[in-house]
Amino acid sequence: MMNKKQYTAPAKIILFGEHAVVHGQPAIAIPVPDLRATVTIQPRQDGVLRIVVPALNVIWSAFDDTNKDNPLIQMTRLVLSELGNPAHVAADLVLESAIPIASGLGSGAAVSAALGRAVSALARRELDQDALNRLVYEVEKLHHGTPSGIDNTVVVYEQPVYFMRAQPVELLAIGSPLTFVIADTGKPAPTREAVADVNVLLQTQPDTYRPIVERIGGI
């Protein structure tokens, strides 16, 4: 029997290029290692694979065909498919997170990345960082509609990145220690809605808002 093991992923913040990165502008983002999502594998002997979220008091079957739009279920199934649908993956995957939801801190990407790592470990199959990043990006589409890909990239690689959509990822090295203070208002602001609002402005008033997006990206 496998002992309980934990798999994690960090939060993130975008330092420069927020929103503009969705529209092809460059951005710089960094991981926030002190805020993490964690998945604990609790082995089972009955052949059942479940996703357990104590904070929400919910338990989902990973093979619930009626709930495929659930991001956690989708992530689990994408990883299993990537690994060739291995048998004997029975466990409770217990998810806990210190990352505030809908606060621009990459909660969705972190949860997906931690879950992907746990499922890969449970299946005893290797899932490299590039593959994990690609799968988390697919799930990000459920969270954000048209994600840039920056959240999943900085969360999965857990390194600062210079990111531009459809361009190779550039991982950044930090020359000296830096301290950032991050304030949370406690008021959720879903990224999907904010991205959609910006899209509307760009479509309805491009002459006004396209130059703003380009200036944001001029890092």
65 a catalytic residue: no
Q: Could you give phi then psi for residue 29, rounded to 5 degrees?
A: -135, 155
- Rounded CA-CA distance 149/141 in Å is 9
In the numeric block, which tokens belong to residue 188? 């959720």
Question: Residue 200 in contact with residue 209, Cβ under 8 Å?
Answer: no
Which residues, at least 6 apart from 155, have a Cβ–Cβ distance to it below 8 Å? Answer: 9, 10, 11, 12, 31, 106, 109, 110, 113, 136
Q: Could you give phi then psi for residue 79, rounded to 5 degrees?
A: -65, -45
Given 65, 69, 128, 151, the catalytic residue: 151
Active site residues: 151
